[in-house]
Amino acid sequence: MADLGAESIAADHLSGFLGALREAGIIAPHQKQQDFLQALSATPPATRRGLYWQARITLTGSKEEIDRFNPVFAAWFGETQAGVKPAELDSDGEEVRKPDSLHGGTLPLPLTPGEGTGQAASGDDLLNRMSPRRASEQERMLIKRARRAAERHLPRRSSLRLRPSPARDVIDLRRMIRAAARHGGELIRFRYRARPMKKRPVLLFVDVSGSLKGLTPDYLRFARALGETSAKVEVFSIGTRLTRLTAALLDGVFDRALQRVAAKVEDFEGGTQIGRSLADFFAHRQYAGLARGAIVIILSDGLERGDPTLLVHAVQRLHRLAERLVWLTPLKRAADYRPVTRAMAAVAPYLDHIGGAASLERLAADISEWTRP
């Protein structure tokens, strides 16, 4: 046994390491940290490499986390003496916490990816406000049509649970045997179970950036129309930042909805940083779950400024989580549309459907297109 002094230094170093991981966005829950410490005491690693594997296997949970784990491990257990080495920059340009500042506070959320990637805020992040007008008679009709079409076509799934039901899916032998046991082994009547159908959740991202200014109100109305169906709908605006609009847009009287949204969204007609907005979405753990098994719809022209890497990563991730990923763009006016911009071409392989969104009429008419299995 080492003397107490060395032991407590080691313990401090470990807890500092775990804190640094948390700040790098690897939220290893208590149970995993316990696994790590248990592994250390069960088989103390002889080499740095051995320690690396023990820590990586117990503390991480996905390939992305491994990528973030590596620089932190190098900073804390690298070749140079820990505490001497200056803070490193990892691939995202995020600062890895200095090993000598132990017991730092913990961030509730990982740092926003893309923070400090050199992409300075776009010059036209004007935080403009929009003054939406009331919907016209014709618009109301289109909204109604969109709602009806969505109610009819939005994909459903059967829930995994079998419930007693008059629908004759599966014979409920368990109930029948129980009844038979009470009646001397006589099967008196058939009982059934079925999987009730329910709509898949819908997750909408509405682009509110400048290039779409005329269309944004229509897109919001379309989102509202979907929200009035029996599906569970979540709406976010993307532009230069991410804003959750679900409550503002879907609750209350229709004509007021757009005004509430206008008050909430601060980046109407600002620049386009869809990638960063979507990365923000994944930085909030409670949001990321909304995409799971959902129909995810992105309403945007995809005119991303600068490097599309962030956008591609976010779309790949959405593709992995979502049941179906649909991109509706006003640039698609004909069936032979091919994505040409760098960003759109890069994300196209991960999209299940690219559809048109040139007007509310088009949106309402095309619902059956992208909901088709």
**Alpha helix stretches (DSSP H) within the chain:** 4-23, 30-42, 48-59, 63-77, 137-153, 173-182, 216-227, 246-250, 254-264, 274-283, 285-288, 309-321, 342-347, 360-365, 367-370
C-beta closer to other proteins: residue 17 or 268: 17
Q: Site map for other proteins, 193-222, x if CB under 8 A?
A: ------------------------------
Is residue 38 at the binding interface for other proteins, with CB under 8 A as the rule? yes
Asked if 160 touches other proteins (CB under 8 A), the answer is: yes
- Per CB under 8 A, 37 contacts other proteins: no
Q: How far apart are CA 276 and CA 312, in angstroms?
A: 10
Structure token digits, residue 212: 């779409």
Residue of 2, 63, 79, 118 that binds other proteins (CB under 8 A): 63
Query: Is position 53 an interface residue for other proteins (rule: CB under 8 A)?
Result: yes
Question: Among 24-32, 76-84, 212-220, 258-266, which window interacts with other proteins (CB under 8 A)?
Answer: 24-32
Of 65, 109, 70, 62, nearest to 90 by C-alpha is 70
As a whole number of angstroms, the distance between CA 320 and CA 294 comes to: 11
User: Among 7, 10, 11, 29, which residue interacts with other proteins (rule: CB under 8 A)?
Assistant: 29
Q: Which of 144, 182, 198, 213 binds other proteins (CB under 8 A)?
A: 182
Please tell me the distance from the alpha carbon of residue 49 to that of residue 70, in angstroms, as a whole number: 12
Cβ atoms 180, 191 nearer than 8 A: no
Looking at the DSSP bridge assignments, the partners of residue 95 are 89
- 293 touches other proteins by CB under 8 A: yes
Which one among 177, 188, 263, 345 touches other proteins, defined by CB under 8 A? Answer: 177
Q: What is the largest distance, in Å, between two alpha-carbon atoms of the chain? A: 82
Give yes or no for residue 173 binding other proteins (CB under 8 A).
Answer: yes
Which is closer to other proteins, CB of 49 or CB of 103?
49
Nearest distance in Å: CB 248, other proteins: 28
d(CA 296, CA 318): 8
Residues that bind other proteins (CB under 8 A): 29, 31-32, 35, 38-39, 42-43, 49-50, 53-54, 56-58, 60-63, 66, 159-162, 173-174, 177-178, 180-182, 184-185, 187, 292-293, 317, 320-321
